[in-house]
Amino acid sequence: MGANLEDIEQAVKSIGTTKIVACPSVPIAISGIGAGAEGALDAMGLMTILNVPKRGVLVSAMYFDLDLEQTQVNLYLFNRQVTQVADNAPWTLSVADAPYLITKLAFVPFDNHTVVATSDLTNIGKAYSAPAGKLWIQAQCVSICTIAVAPKIQLQIQSFDPDFKES
């Protein structure tokens, strides 16, 4: 089956037109974190969904620790909706969901800014495909932490999706 004129035009437009985008443009809070201590190796909060380019490369990521916990947090990124693990329940990746895991981002060490801390990952270089234009992200505490203010996250992505607009 031959390509139609629209497909050819789209391919030509996308050649050499990649750009770095922030997803989201303003850091977003991890949703669904309950009151009380989060247990070691437990899911932290609920799935956070980000709009992202349908094709891209994860360049860098930032974790904003807004209550100065400074304990390692992992983010598991998926290219489709997977089984939700309850907040503060042991993190488990099912066999059925494993094929949709793009990567795990481990945020440690932290830079202390007196009342908040940040952790950033650079040069990640992980290519991905997200057919729905979304990533589903599940956070995990590595050690016990008591979250008073929901942390925020932001990804920087080299977009290969000419139709993607930052929002």
What pLDDT is stored for residue 8 in this prediction?
64
Q: What pLDDT is stored for residue 124 in this prediction?
A: 97
Q: What is the pLDDT along the chain (167 residues), one digit of tens a residue?
A: 556 777 666 666 656 668 999 999 999 999 999 877 888 999 999 999 999 999 999 999 999 999 999 999 999 999 999 999 999 999 999 999 999 999 999 999 999 999 999 999 999 999 999 999 999 999 999 999 888 899 999 999 999 999 999 88
Q: Are 61 and 154 in contact (CB under 8 A)?
A: yes
Sign of CA dihedral 82, 34, 150, 113: negative
| 3-class DSSP state of 29 | strand
Q: How many CB atoms lie within 10 A of CB 6?
A: 8
Query: Left (φ > 0), alpha (ψ -120 to 50) or beta: where does 114 sit?
Result: left
What pLDDT does residue 3 have?
65
Which tokens is 118 given? 């940040």
- pLDDT on residue 83: 96
18-159 CATH: 2.60.120
Give DSSP secondary structure letters for 34-55: PSSEEPTTBEEEEEEEEE--SE
CA gap 46, 155 in Å, rounded: 18
Whole-number pLDDT of residue 10:
65
**Model pLDDT, residue 145:** 87
CA atoms within 13 A on the CB side of 73: 31
What's the whole-model pTM score? 0.89
Domain ranges for the chain, please list them: 18-159
Residue 137, φ and ψ in degrees, nearest 5: -120, 130
